[in-house]
Structure 1
Amino acid sequence: MKPTIIFLDRDGVINVNRDDYVKSWAEFQFLPDVLTALKILHDHEIPVIVITNQSAIGRGIVTETTVQEIHRRMAHQVEQAGGYITAVYYCPHHPSEGCNCRKPRPGMLIQAAHDFNLDLRKCVFVGDNMRDIEAGKNAGCQTVFVRTGVHADRPIATFPAPPDYEFNTLSDFVQTFLPPSGNS
């Protein structure tokens, strides 16, 4: 399987998910081997788009400017490691707002498909929780569940929409489907 594009959730897939939200760059911590996995994706010319709920904005915990700065610095670190993030889509809304962009609704995926002229059936969404898998399924993507976040210990049978694939980490998924190319 070589997807057209890989969509990644942020908290719990790229970085450590914090119960109290990532409120600054100082609190952002890449998960082990994520930078290597993103380099492998870039070496294989597979674009990466981040799709993330950031309700801390709508809750008044962090400003949108701060979240944008975290994303800018995250993308810079990924580039320094040889990877590349094509775009970041985030839902800033409070969960009670009922917007179309908050996962499990597929709004951000549909917007990205429109912006990049993508066939979502040829895309993969990688997430660490049920909302991610549901969003991917709702958009028509292949889905990959990684056990690095909030639902790490949850049995797949309890998910409303089971994922197409399951791996312990993003790195395990990437290295299974796309071995290192030897580019340095």
Structure 2
Amino acid sequence: MNYATTEKLLKDMDYDSNDALSIQNSISSTEESSLIDNVLNAEGENQTEDSNIISAEELADSFGILILLPENSSWIADEEYCLVDENNLKIAYHDFIADTDCTLLVSKNNNLNLPQNEYDETLNESWEGKTISSQNIVVKVQNKGNDEKMVLATWEYNEYQFAIIGEDKNDSNSIPKVALNIIKNLD
């Protein structure tokens, strides 16, 4: 609320402009204090959350594997690499072709903790890709039926388990193609 608005309201209620200034200063001081508190709280939360966000290269050093998403910005954007703990990684990104936000989960020496969804077995697909060293990797793609567009792509490489979870709004091939792109860069 600005000074002119406060003054007009008070004038209508038979207060003078000195009262308006005093009340406006009081409101501004309270709003400013509240705003500062909110910003500090948000910064503290972001620092805690952002402290685990790292680049793909830093991830390779600490997690033991380089995971590269497609570098085509008209396909993949807003990547956030987050080391959950020493054995689990989460990469969030937006897939413009599938028109959805996706999550890539990677687990080292552990089983992935995946959501328990019912997938339509008649819609299951297998995709194959090769690593840099020509190791053949099979990607299992599961789709939910009943007009739900949930897609789950899973595969394994050495001691790592991978899963991409997303919705398929436009192109059913985009999510497994991301998986194949990741696989072709594994060494």
**TM-score normalised per structure 2:** 0.27
Bigger share in strand:
2
**TM-score normalised per structure 1:** 0.27
